[in-house]
Chains A and B, each alone.
Chain A
Amino acid sequence: MKLLSEWIKRMMEDIGDVTVLFGQTIYSILRGRFKFSNVFTQMVHIGVDSIGIAVVSAAFVGMVFAVQIAYEFVKFGAGNVVGGVMGIAVARELAPTLTAIVVAARVGAAIAAELGTMNVTEQIEALYAMGSDPIKHLVVPRFLACTFMLPVLTIFADFVGFLGGYAIAVYIVGINPVGYMDSASSFLSMTDITGGLVKAFFFGMIIAIVACFRGLQASGGARGVGMSTTSSVVTSLLSIIVVNYFLSIILFAAK
């Protein structure tokens, strides 16, 4: 019981501290306290360098999803709606969520490890000592890059995931390609795609702020950096899964 209450207390403290960091980050952005060159560097690192892993993941998840649904739909004589179901599933859920998971593992871990190492080697303290602000130098560029690059990566994942599904449905299961595309165009609306991108926008914020928070919180040498990195990935993934549910309700349930 005591352990549970301590865990809840620690979690509430963390939520409070993350909220404060988020507020400070937004304040710095609104005051223009950041360098575009730093944001650009992070955009390349977070976005461009993640395209390969995001695209490969999206392709295989699209293909697996097609394998799972296409045969079953054909069995029930609903093969002509596979394209539509694929399109909606990829745009609303698979592409944004999977891309966020991949980026949380690749980029979130890297951010937490980098900032954690800077923290335990006194580099963060050196920034303060030089009259500088670690939020401006370290958090804001990563936050902006992650928030704006995740929707871009999701657009790639949308295309590739959908095409992966197309390849399986058409060439393996034998669904009519025109029927696949027709059902996709009649089922899929623009709001499905934009809704997915809105999700990606929020997931990007979560990954960056959690990773920066865990990195800045790191203490106690290499072990502390390792713990903060693991904690960053776990917290990001859990947050993404939980937030995804609520965003799905808000964005798509009313439709």
Chain B
Amino acid sequence: MIGDRLLNIEKKLNKESNMIELQNIVKDFDGNRVLKGIDLTVKRGETLAVIGPSGCGKSTLLRVMLGLFQPTEGKVLIASQDISQLDAEEMNEVRRHIGMVFQSSALFDSLSVAENVAFGLREHGGATESRRVLSESEIKKIVAEKLDLVGLKNTEELMPSELSGGMRKRVGLARALATNPKIMLYDEPTTGLDPVISSAIEDLMLELHKMLKITAVVVTHMLSTVYHIADRIVMLHDGKLIDSGSPEETKRTTNPVIKKFVTAGEKQ
């Protein structure tokens, strides 16, 4: 029964303590090994930051977690469920509980702000956690709530082309939050934004994580963001992860690779 299988996935997402587990993940692109055996566990409610220089494979790691890229080797477990074992429908159900904020915001150009935020709700028939189908008026209300949450009240009718970079990021955040995800994945959420807007988005992320008890993985090379929002930091270097501990521990690290990155980052 499809309904039972999907409900089972939802139950696991509500219950399991390990929300994301990567087991020996290897990823090759055209013979080039980008990820060389990644082991990682993200606990429920934790905000994990993955740092590293541009082009080191951070975004690839995020896409592997979401099943957008198939790993060459290894397993991805979301709430203890091996996602390679899921069919397309089950995978979509898993993704319904994961929100992703893209580096470029990735808003749908041809849809208004409201339609972008409502997209996930309409896509799944407006299904809520209990898979109850939402009416159009309920969807409209949720859209207004989420836009209010990210500080973009009354922007429903605007088109993405009319928004600034910071506004686009916030609409992307509202869209990702619309389906009340259990897990949030952020790909460079503050890169390219001025310090004031960056700080505002970081505050927003922090508040949302606390308020909605979201498990989050933030991929970035912006140390200000990492120090502000992360519970734990790992660094991706040469295709492998180095555990760096809490932000305070990272600042005091003696690991030469992390130290070099952090020192360079703090000078910026």
Contacts and interface: CB of A to CB of B under 8 A. Distances in A.
Contact of B93 (A117, A122, A123, A131): A131
B128 interface: no
A168 B103 CA distance: 60
B123 interface: yes
A163 B116 CA distance: 47
B32 to A, nearest CB: 16
Contacts of B66: 129
A19 interface: no
Interface string A118-147: 100111011011111100000000000000
Interface string B72-108: 0000000000000000100111111010101110111
B109 interface: yes
Interface string A83-126: 00000000000000000000000000000000001100111011
Interface residues of A, number: 13
Contacts of B120: 130-132
B92 A131 contact: yes
A122 B62 CA distance: 14
A58 B107 CA distance: 40
Nearest to B63: A125
Interface in B196-215: none
Contacts of B237: none
A225 B88 CA distance: 28
A131 B108 contact: no
A131 B94 CA distance: 8
Chain B interface: which size bin?
Answer: 20 to 34
A118 B106 CA distance: 8
Nearest to A120: B104
A126 B108 contact: yes
Contacts of A128: 68, 95
A122 B103 CA distance: 9
Given A122-B106, A123-B109, A129 B100 contact: yes
A133 B96 CA distance: 12
Contact of A122 (B92, B98, B102, B175): B102
B92 A123 contact: no
Contacts of B92: 131-133
Nearest to A132: B123
A4 B226 CA distance: 51
A125 B185 CA distance: 13
Given A121-B109, A129-B95, A130-B119, 4 more contacts: A122-B103, A122-B104, A123-B107, A126-B108
Top 9 A-B pairs, shortest CB-CB distance: A131-B92, A131-B95, A122-B106, A126-B106, A129-B100, A131-B96, A132-B123, A130-B120, A122-B102
27 contacts: A121-B104, A121-B109, A122-B103, A122-B106, A123-B108, A125-B63, A125-B68, A126-B100, A126-B102, A126-B108, A128-B68, A128-B95, A129-B66, A129-B68, A129-B95, A130-B95, A130-B96, A130-B123, A131-B91, A131-B92, A131-B93, A131-B94, A131-B120, A131-B123, A132-B120, A132-B123, A133-B92
